[in-house]
Structure 1
Amino acid sequence: MLHIKIHQMYQQNMKVAQIATALKVSRPTVYKYLKMTYEDALHEFDGKACSRKKKLDAYRDWIIAWLEEYPHLSSAQVYDWLLERYPDLSVGSSTVRTYVKEIREIYQIEKKRVVRHYEAIPEQPMGKQIQVDWGETRQRTKDGKMIKLYFIAFVLAHSRMKYVEWRERPFTTRDTIHCHENAFQFYGGRPSEIVYDQDHLIAINENAGDVLLTNEFQAYVNERKFRIHLCRRADPESKGMIENVVKYIKRNFADSRVYRHIEDWNDRSMRWLERTGNHNVHQTTKKRPAEVFSVEKQHLQPVLSLLSFESIRTESIARNVSKDNTIRYRSNRYTVPIGTYSSVKKKMVFLEVTEQERLLIRESPEGEVIADHRVSKESGKLIQSRDHLRDRSKGIEELKQQVLTYFEDRESASDYLGELSKRYPRYRRDQFNIIRDVATMYPNHLTMALEKCSQESLFSANDFRDVVHYLAILADDGCDTKPDTERPKKSGIQVATRPIQAYTDILKGVTAK
C-alpha cells in the first residue's frame, strides 16, 4: 500500500519532501519505492517477513495495539510499558525507538508532536537546591470511569533525582508538609534551598521579596531551617527543571495508565522512578540521575527522623469506609467495628501508622481509636479483628435463656441444650426454637420428656418434640394452652417421625404410673 500511495502522489506532481511529510516516512524511503516496481516491493516485503527476525517481533501485537489506541505514545513510553509487563526484556532504547518508528510507517500511525520551550538555567552545586511543584491528571479506572489525581513532585537541581507522591484529593498545607518529610527521608537529607511556585498552600503574597507564608508552612520552615526561593508570577522558566519533571510524570508515567487505587498508584509510581524516571540517562547532563545522586547525597544536610511538633509517622490519612465495614490501605483491607459504615452519608475515618507498624483508625484525626491492626506487608489480604465480627452467639444465648424458663430443673435442661449445641452447631437456633414451641404448647410434660430423652440419649429437638407429643396423647389432654391460631411459627424443618412403638419402648412402664 505504501508503494502504491507513493507512486500515486508522485504522478500528481508532488515533490519527494511533500510525499514524505504526508505519509510520515523519510525521503530515502520515498526515493527507494519510486525506483521499485510493485512486484519488487512485494517481493522485498515477503522476503523480509520470511527471513528477517527482530528482537521485538514477539511483542509486535502489544506495540501495535498500544500505538493504535494511544497514537501519541513516545517510544520511551512504549519501552517503559514493555519493561513493566516483561521485566526480563533485554533490549536497548534505540532498538525500541527504531522498531516503533517502523511500526508507525507501516501502519501509518501518526504521532502528535508537542513543541516545548524552556530556558536554560545555570548548573547548581551539589546539595544546594530542590525544586518543587504540583500537578494533576485525569486517569481512567479499571471500570472505565475517569478520576482526577493530584501529585507533588521534587527534583534535586544537580543530579536531577526525582520524587513524586500522589493523592486522590487536592493537597492541603499539612499534606504538603508530610510529603516534604517523605521526600527528605527518600533523599536521606535536605538541601539548603527549595524553589517553589507561588502556590496558595505555602505562600500568601510575594510582598516585593519579603515573602509572606501561611502560618502552618512558616512554622515548618522555621523548624527545618531551609531557605525559600519563590518564583515570580508567570515565570515558569525560572524553575524549568521541575516543569519538565511534572510534564515527564504526566506524559511518561501517568498517560494512558489504568488506575486501581491510590496505594497501588503510589507503589507503581515509585517503581517507575526506579526503573525509568531516575534510571534513564538525562538528556542535559548525559548521566543517570541515580548514579549522580549517590555522590550528591553526601552534600545534603541531615534531617532528624521526627519533627519536634509533629511526627511524619503520625500522619492522618483519610479513608472512606466500605459497606462491608472495611477500609483500604496499601493494597489490603482492614476491618472497623460493625456499624461504622453509614448508607445515608459517606463515612470517613482517619488512619495513623505508628513506629511499631501498627495501623490505628479513628473517626476523627484526634479522636478515640476504634480499630488497631498490625500493618501487613502482603497485598490483597483482609486483616480482620475478632472484636469487629458480629456477635452471633448473643442472640442464641438469649434464646437459650428464654427456653430454660419453661423448665423446672434448669440445670438438667441447660445440660441438654448444651448437648444440642455441640451436636448441631449450625442449627442451634432451629433446635432451640423447636423446644420453645413445644414448651409453650405442652408445659405439663416437659420434666418427664427431659428425663427420658436424657436417659435414652435422644439429643435432638425433633426427638424431644415427639416424646412430648406421645406423653400428651397418653394423658389424653391434647394441647395444654394456646390454640393453633396463637401458636408460634414452626421452623419449617422436615423431619422423620419415629413409629409410636419406639416411644412406647422408651417410656416402658410410664403408663402404669
Structure 2
Amino acid sequence: MEKWEVYMEIYQLKRQGFKVRRIARKLGISRTTVYKYLDKSPEDMAEWMASVKTRAKKLDPYEMLIHTWLSEHPDLSSAQVYDWLKERYKDLVVGESTVRNYVKELREKYNIPKTEVKRVYQAIPDPPMGQQAQVDFGQTIQKTSSGKDKKLYFISFVLSHSRYKYVEWLDRPFTTKDVIRTHENCFQFFSGIPSELAYDQDALIVVSENAGDLVLTSEFQAYREERKLNLFVCRKADPESKGRIENVVGFVKKNFAKNRVFYHIDQWNELCMSWLERTGNGKVHNTTKKRPVEVFALEKQHLRPVTKKISISSIDSSITRTVRKDNTILYDSNRYSVPLGTYKPDKEVYIEATDTNHLLIRDQSEGPIIAEHQISSERGKLIQPTQHKRDRTKGIAAYIATVASQFDDTETATDFLAEIHRRYPRYVRDQLDLISKVSKSVEVEIRNEALKECIKRKIYSATEYNDVVQFVERQHQTKTKPKQSNEVKSLHGIDPKLVNIKPETREVERYLELLKGVTVCPL
C-alpha cells in the first residue's frame, strides 16, 4: 500500500471513531506509524512524500539483502554488514559510516533491535616494532549447509605494534604438532620471527609455570630450542597483558565467523585469508587509526629472518591419556574405548589426532596402534567399536560347551558350568571367562582333578575353582619332589667309604727286629 493511501485510510478510520490500537491492527502497521501519520497535516504529508521520492540512498538497491541479514541475525554489526557487502560486491564503493547509518535506519524502520556486550581493557603502550607477537586459541560453532552444528578451532597471531594478524582453522582440536606447523606458517606469512612470543597458559604448549620458570611440553620445548624462540606466558585473569590477542579472537569470531555457513575446512581457511586481506589487516584499526598492512610494511624489517625450514614430521606430536577403569580414555569431552584388558592402575596410552579427523591410540609412543576412532564433533558420547566389547555373539550354551571342552570329562564339566550359570545368571560370562583363563594356565591333569574336587565338595564358583586349582597344583609339586638322603656329607669332600677303611695291625716285635737288622719275612 502506498504511503498516501495509508495516510488517507488512517484518517478515515480515526473519523469513524477507531482507536489507534485498532487502526494499527486493522492496517497491519505499528502504533508508532499511526501516531506519525496522525501528526501530519495533508500539506505536511504532501511535502514529505515529495522529499522522500527525490532522495534516493546509495544502499537502497541492497535494502532487501541487508534486511534479510538483519532479520536472520539480529546481532549482526554494521561492520560485519560492511564486510559482507565488500565480499559479495567487490566493485561497490561505499564508506563504512554510510553503511553504519543505513543499518541504523533499517533497524528503526523494521524494528530490529541489537544488543551488544562490551568488554573493557586498560590501555598499555605499544611495544617497539618487531618486539612482540601474541598467540591464542579460539573456538566457534558454525552452521553447516545441512543445518547441523559444526565445532571449529582456530589459532590466531598478532604483531603487537602493527596489529598485523594471522589466523588458521581446523575442524578438530589442535595437537602440539598442529601448533608447531601453524607457527611455521605464521612466520612465513610474517616473513620473519618477532623477538618475543606471548601465550596464554595452554596445555599444548605449557605444562606449568613454576614461579616464572616455564615447563613446556617436550615437543614444543624441542621446537623452541631449534627456532631459538623467546617465550612469555601471561598470567591467568590478566587481560591487560594479552588484550591485543583477545581482541583479535573476538574480532575473528564476531566479524568473520559469526552467522557464516561452513562447507569445508579448506574453503573456510581461504575465506579467512581473504577476510584478513580485506578487513582484518586492510581496514583502519580503531585504536591506532592506521591500516595494519601499511604499518606492517615497516615492522617486518625489524623481524628476525627465517633462515631455514623445519620439518614438522620429525617432531613427535603424541600426548598421553590415562586409561579409565572401564577401558576408555577422555578426549575432547568424549569417551573413546581401548581393547578390554588395557586398564591397569596409572596406565597411560599415547594419542594422536590425524589430519583426516581420526584418533590414533598407541600403547607406546612409537608402538603399534591399539585403537583407532573417528573423532566425534558431539560431546558426552561413548565411541566404542564392536571389537572392544565383550563377545556377546556367542550364546551362553555355546560358551559353556567351549569351556567344558578343556576338560577330559566334558559331560561332568558341562553340568558343573550349568550349575554356575544357575547360581550366577547375571555374571555367567565373567565366571566362564575366569574358569577358562585359569584352566588354560595349568596342565590337563590338574584341571581335571580340581573339577572332581569342586564337585565332591559342592563348590560352584569361578574364584573358588581358582583356589582349588592352586591347591591341587601345590599338592602335585609336593608329590613329585625328590626324597632327601639322611646321609651326612663330609665338608672336605672325601668319599665317606674311604674314611671308614681301617688299616691292618701287627705286633711290635716285628718292627724291632727290622730295626736290629735281622732278616725277617716280608710283612
Q: Find the aligned partners of 1:129 and 1:81 in 2 and give their Cα distance.
A: 31
| Contact kept in structure 2, 1:155 and 1:163, CA below 8 Å | yes
Q: Find the aligned partners of 1:278 and 1:111 in 2 and give their Cα distance.
A: 26
Residue number in structure 1 paired with 2:122: 119
Task: Find out whether 1:67 has 2:94 as its counterpart.
Answer: no
Provide closer, same or farther for how the CA distance between residues 205 and 99 of structure 1 changes in structure 2, counting only shifts above 3 A. Answer: same
Provide closer, same or farther for how the CA distance between residues 309 and 257 of structure 1 changes in structure 2, counting only shifts above 3 A. Answer: closer
Give the AA of the match of 1:215. S
Residue number in structure 1 paired with 2:276: 273
Residue number in structure 2 paired with 1:326: none
Q: Find the aligned partners of 2:157 and 2:147 in 1 and give their Cα distance.
A: 30
Q: Find the aligned partners of 1:223 and 1:248 in 2 and give their Cα distance.
A: 32
Provide closer, same or farther for how the CA distance between residues 315 and 302 of structure 1 changes in structure 2, counting only shifts above 3 A. Answer: farther
Q: Find the aligned partners of 1:45 and 1:137 in 2 and give their Cα distance.
A: 47
Give the SS at the match of 1:114.
coil
Matches within 5 A, 1:252-401: 252-307=255-310
Give the AA of the match of 1:294. A
Matches within 5 A, 1:462-473: none
Residue number in structure 1 paired with 2:113: 110
- What's the offset of the Cα at 1:54? 1.1
Task: Find out whether 1:158 has 2:161 as its counterpart.
Answer: yes
Residue number in structure 2 paired with 1:196: 199
- What's the offset of the Cα at 1:37? 2.2
Q: Find the aligned partners of 2:225 and 2:171 in 1 and give their Cα distance.
A: 29
Provide closer, same or farther for how the CA distance between residues 106 and 38 of structure 1 changes in structure 2, counting only shifts above 3 A. Answer: farther
Q: Find the aligned partners of 1:46 and 1:106 in 2 and give their Cα distance.
A: 16
Task: Find out whether 1:53 has 2:56 as its counterpart.
Answer: yes
Provide closer, same or farther for how the CA distance between residues 196 and 41 of structure 1 changes in structure 2, counting only shifts above 3 A. Answer: farther
Q: Find the aligned partners of 1:44 and 1:193 in 2 and give their Cα distance.
A: 65
Q: Find the aligned partners of 2:213 and 2:167 in 1 and give their Cα distance.
A: 29
- What's the offset of the Cα at 1:311? 7.5
Matches within 5 A, 1:15-26: none
Aligned residues: 300
Task: Find out whether 1:239 has 2:239 as its counterpart.
Answer: no
- What's the offset of the Cα at 1:309? 7.0
Please give the root-mean-square deviation of Cα atoms over the aligned residues, in Å.
3.4
Aligned partner (choices 205, 214, 225) of residue 222 of structure 1: 225
Larger Rg over CA atoms: 2
Structure 2: segments with no counterpart, 5+ residues: 11-29, 319-352, 357-361, 368-523
- TM-score by length of structure 2 reads 0.53
Residue number in structure 1 paired with 2:412: none
Q: Find the aligned partners of 1:306 and 1:103 in 2 and give their Cα distance.
A: 52
| Contact kept in structure 1, 2:137 and 2:154, CA below 8 Å | yes
Task: Find out whether 1:212 has 2:212 as its counterpart.
Answer: no
Structure 1: segments with no counterpart, 5+ residues: 5-22, 26-31, 317-347, 352-363, 368-513
Give the AA of the match of 1:264. Q
| Contact kept in structure 2, 1:202 and 1:213, CA below 8 Å | yes
Matches within 5 A, 1:424-503: none
Residue number in structure 2 paired with 1:493: none
Give the SS at the match of 1:53.
coil
Residue number in structure 1 paired with 2:146: 143
| Contact kept in structure 2, 1:33 and 1:41, CA below 8 Å | no
| Contact kept in structure 1, 2:177 and 2:317, CA below 8 Å | no
| Contact kept in structure 1, 2:219 and 2:317, CA below 8 Å | no
Q: Find the aligned partners of 1:302 and 1:160 in 2 and give their Cα distance.
A: 19
Provide closer, same or farther for how the CA distance between residues 228 and 44 of structure 1 changes in structure 2, counting only shifts above 3 A. Answer: farther
Q: Identity over the aligned pairs, expressed in percent?
A: 58
Q: Find the aligned partners of 2:231 and 2:355 in 1 and give their Cα distance.
A: 31
Q: Find the aligned partners of 2:317 and 2:217 in 1 and give their Cα distance.
A: 20
Q: Find the aligned partners of 1:66 and 1:100 in 2 and give their Cα distance.
A: 11
Give the SS at the match of 1:148.
strand
Residue number in structure 1 paired with 2:176: 173
| Contact kept in structure 1, 2:175 and 2:317, CA below 8 Å | no
- What's the offset of the Cα at 1:216? 0.4
| Contact kept in structure 2, 1:129 and 1:191, CA below 8 Å | yes
Q: Find the aligned partners of 2:269 and 2:106 in 1 and give their Cα distance.
A: 32
Give the AA of the match of 1:228. L
Runs of 4+ with >4 A deviation: 32-36, 38-42, 308-312, 348-351
| Contact kept in structure 1, 2:197 and 2:230, CA below 8 Å | yes
- TM-score by length of structure 1 reads 0.54
